[in-house]
Structure 1
């Protein structure tokens, strides 16, 4: 895939390693609701190490003696990491097997309680990350300054490489699907998301290269912070400038689908120009044929509670929180090339 541009200048190191051990990549889900304490869905908070979400869901189904569809989770979490996330298990008779049977090197049950609804995908307020980069070959003072810039201005809200599969293979697979290749339902959903994400990243890349990823241009569609609500275009004003400065609103880009773009003028011209190549046109046509509706996504992301410390020379620890659907790799991207040691 085409390398993504940087918002703050060149990379600050020539190399760094992430996931040298699973403990170097820690993620905790931030819950979006409190359990009711009653109902027929057992809500489990699980700390997992070196196991992916689907694998743990299968273990829970086997433990409960239920089909896999009886187990649900809010979000997918990495395998090569230590992560805490919620799962729900539908137990209509409210009889749960012994939780101690789940204990292993991979799985630890942090808490369990009853809830009156199945856990839905996306039912989380965000994720909190603690990452350790090792063998960092760069100037520590410059990295400190870049992280301060990120804390103050935010970063481009890229879709991460996870969305595109190994070696970016999901986009070619989406094109093949649009060309008639049969795919399973779960594969189709994954590939539709990859196609939309690729188009969004191309628009965002054009805004980064223009220097307007966090600045207004004519015809802008604005997104409210912390929501999917949008408004505009409307004339630039002191009120909009104040809201943009305090991160109450953000410029947005298209998640492609059926219908007309909401943006106008310079914003619309840039969006259409960024996705006018042959591959982008094929992705656009495929998404429209699938009946997806136009949506928007914020171009700007500000990591919350961003902190860092040097554990020793060449070893950098970062901690921050991100909203749902945002990627820690977008933060790392603004520092320099990071190699995934788990690969």
Structure 2
């Protein structure tokens, strides 16, 4: 079994007809964007006519859908034969819509942690995992953006800042790449706010004045009736949120507001540049609850299975088992 396996989950069944061929591919040793370019070449369309829901890096095995815009046409004969090594076609269908970023319900993971139980007896291993799983079920895990958000060498933030400072001049060229770089800048700011909240021992709490989100939703609201909202917080119906800086973003009050304003003062130039470059403010939940959680031992290897909502990172869950 591979050490890392992720499968994108479709938000709904394919329509069975339409202008877009949907190919479900298993890939290894290749990023999503690299494979999209290869598909465009193989079927004779522009890169812009290839769609996908989420960016996956080259590590491990990924199962995900790509849409190919071929109105009134069949897939070219022999198109599969030239696909790169490590790419396998698992399913082909049709749909009326192009797959766009975010068009998935989540990701299902299977991850092998090799040798993490080598120093423990069998009973100790089982007890350790149970305790961690119980902690996750009660409090969730920190919803950090994962390292792949920041590039292979971690330089996306620095490159994103260069793009921001160039302003309109920096908008020439690859818009897709520019979007990734700018997103890395504000993802880094979000991670810093979340880390600061954890350092103060406030991660497991809802605070008066927090900006909260309904579970699974993007809309945000100010926590004013603390008692009633705290009940919903404990029931996992709402989550405190952190900033994705940009224009027209709702800000918290109280202690949560003080922490965000402190970060805004430290990074005032960057946040101003994000707004000037057209980034719209948004909020992201600070905590994350995996679903369909399972675990088993194979010798000293721990195998984890779980499902996460779109935009969330498996590293947030794995980190809890490697502390």
TM-score over 0.5 for the alignment?
Answer: yes
Displacement of 1:47 after TM fit? 1.6
Equivalent residue of 1:308, what SS? strand
Displacement of 1:275 after TM fit? 4.4
Instruction: Report if the CA contact (8 A) 1:252-1:299 is conserved.
Output: yes
2:219 alignment partner in structure 1: 229
CA distance in 2, matches of 1:152, 1:163: 27
Displacement of 1:126 after TM fit? 0.5
Pairs within 5 Å for 1:1-343: 23-98=2-77, 101=81, 105-136=85-116, 139=120, 140=125, 141-180=127-166, 182=170, 184=173, 185-237=175-227, 239-259=228-248, 261-277=250-266, 280-313=267-300, 315-336=301-322
CA distance in 1, matches of 2:147, 2:177: 17
CA distance in 2, matches of 1:260, 1:54: 30
CA distance in 2, matches of 1:90, 1:115: 10
CA distance in 2, matches of 1:176, 1:134: 39
CA distance in 1, matches of 2:69, 2:119: 50
Structure number with higher relative contact order (C-alpha < 8 Å, ≥ 6 residues apart) = 1
Deviations 1:76-114 (A, max 9, x none): 122121111011111112321246536764222221111
CA distance in 2, matches of 1:105, 1:148: 41
Unaligned runs of 5+ in 1: 1-20, 338-343
Instruction: Report if the CA contact (8 A) 1:214-1:250 is conserved.
Output: no
CA distance in 2, matches of 1:26, 1:282: 40
Instruction: Report if the CA contact (8 A) 1:257-1:284 is conserved.
Output: yes
Q: Which moved more, 1:59-68 or 1:120-129?
A: 59-68
Equivalent residue of 2:57, what SS? coil
Instruction: Report if the CA contact (8 A) 1:74-1:120 is conserved.
Output: yes
Go from structure 1 to structure 2 and tell me whether the alpha carbon gap of 1:32 and 1:138 turns closer, same or farther (over 3 Å shift).
farther
Displacement of 1:177 after TM fit? 2.5
Equivalent residue of 2:105, what SS? strand
Instruction: Report if the CA contact (8 A) 2:212-2:223 is conserved.
Output: yes
Displacement of 1:165 after TM fit? 1.7
- Please tell me the root mean square deviation across aligned C-alpha atoms, in Å: 2.1
Q: Which moved more, 1:250-259 or 1:159-168?
A: 159-168
Instruction: Report if the CA contact (8 A) 2:164-2:170 is conserved.
Output: no
Unaligned runs of 5+ in 2: none
Displacement of 1:155 after TM fit? 0.5
- The total of aligned residue pairs comes to 312
Equivalent residue of 1:114, what SS? strand
Deviations 1:298-324 (A, max 9, x none): 0110011111111112x1111100001
Structure 1 length as normaliser, TM-score? 0.84
Go from structure 1 to structure 2 and tell me whether the alpha carbon gap of 1:173 and 1:59 turns closer, same or farther (over 3 Å shift).
closer
Go from structure 1 to structure 2 and tell me whether the alpha carbon gap of 1:60 and 1:192 turns closer, same or farther (over 3 Å shift).
same
Instruction: Report if the CA contact (8 A) 1:257-1:294 is conserved.
Output: yes
CA distance in 1, matches of 2:259, 2:251: 13
Go from structure 1 to structure 2 and tell me whether the alpha carbon gap of 1:35 and 1:260 turns closer, same or farther (over 3 Å shift).
closer
